[in-house]
Amino acid sequence: MKRLTVAGRLIITALILGAIFVGYKYLGGQKALTQMAEDRAENPESQATTAGEDESAPSEATAGNSEAVTSDAAAFSYTAPAPVDGKLKGVVELGASGFNSFIIKVDKQKHWSLEKSEFGNSLVTENMATDEDIRVGLKKYIGGMLDFGVGSKDIHFVVSSGAAKAEVTQKITRVLKSIGYVVNQVTAEQEGQLALKSVLPAEYADKAFVVDIGSGNTKISWIEGGKVSALESYGAKYYQDGADDSKVYEEVSSKSKQIPTDKRKTCFIIGGVPFEMAKEVRKGKERYTTLSEPLAYSKLTNAKSKAGVNIYKSVKDATGCDQFVFDWDANFTIGFLLNL
């Protein structure tokens, strides 16, 4: 060291000090990492990133803000048979809340699959749709079906029993006739029978019933002795007629109690409000969704949904049925196509 120049000594000293500094930082860093790991082990949620929170939050929770998203309802595992060499058929429903259209593929055994559906609102029931509004709307559906591959002779029109009560039904019928189509009008009883035909699997014919909660009325149906029985009660827009919740509950309950006890194991349910309820708890793209308890939908706030939940609760309380299965594809108008 004595032979080293002053500059050399300074360089060596600097190197030694640098090594000491690096070692200190390394040991301190390791200690900090160790502490962070221990903290994370004790509080795992505190380290979640914003992206992780977004990915883990179910979209249904924000859609309806309903407790139904926590449902423990058992999944319904039935798989409907697919059509073989099926033919495309289309139907336009003139319902109490507007025009809806459905295209299915159906084979000779009446196995079917939903190929396309379209739901639209209109001012039909409020008597604010002109002839031209109706003509434009109907031609839109017809054109879409033709473009999809449905033959013109395989496109049908059905007026629901709820819409039949509206004063403008004759106007719709007149417009359809003017463009060369026939209107098929069904009664509530027929509608219930057709709903059952589309939604009730053959394997469940002896142990299940069907409920279709529409805007204008509710249809309850089941098979007994090889024949379909169907009853009509209030629809989900009963509040527009000034009907009281308790009165509706009691009438729907009275009708529901007519369902044979051995048919109450499972209920297949369809309609606008059941659609809203099923949307809260649907898993992926499943066709069948098991609904939650009525109480789980207490946060659905619009008048129609609240009325529909009241009807649903009445059916459930009256029958004691524990399994209400919503079918995302079925509709009474599809039953009409199957019945042709």
For residue 76, the model assigns a pLDDT of 82
Residues β-bridged to residue 327? 288
Does the pLDDT value for residue 47 go beyond 50? no
Asked if residue 268 lies in contact with residue 208, where contact means CB atoms within 8 angstroms, the answer is yes
Q: What is the mean pLDDT of the chain?
A: 81
Q: How confident is the model at residue 132 (pLDDT cuts 50, 70, 90)?
A: confident
- pLDDT one-digit tens code per residue, 148-183: 999 999 999 998 877 776 766 777 778 888 888 888
For residue 202, the model assigns a pLDDT of 93
Closest by CA to 135, choosing from 124, 126, 145, is 124
| Phi and psi at residue 74, to the nearest 5° | -70, 145
- Give me the domains of the chain, ranges plus CATH numbers: 87-185 (3.30.420.40), 187-330 (3.30.420.150)
| 208 or 97: which leads in pLDDT | 208
Q: What is the C-alpha separation between 118 and 248, in angstroms, rounded?
A: 30
Q: What is the mean pLDDT of residues 299-326?
A: 96
Q: How confident is the model at residue 13 (pLDDT cuts 50, 70, 90)?
A: low
The residue type at 207: K
Does the pLDDT value for residue 332 go beyond 70? yes
Does the pLDDT value for residue 141 go beyond 80? no
For residue 248, the model assigns a pLDDT of 98
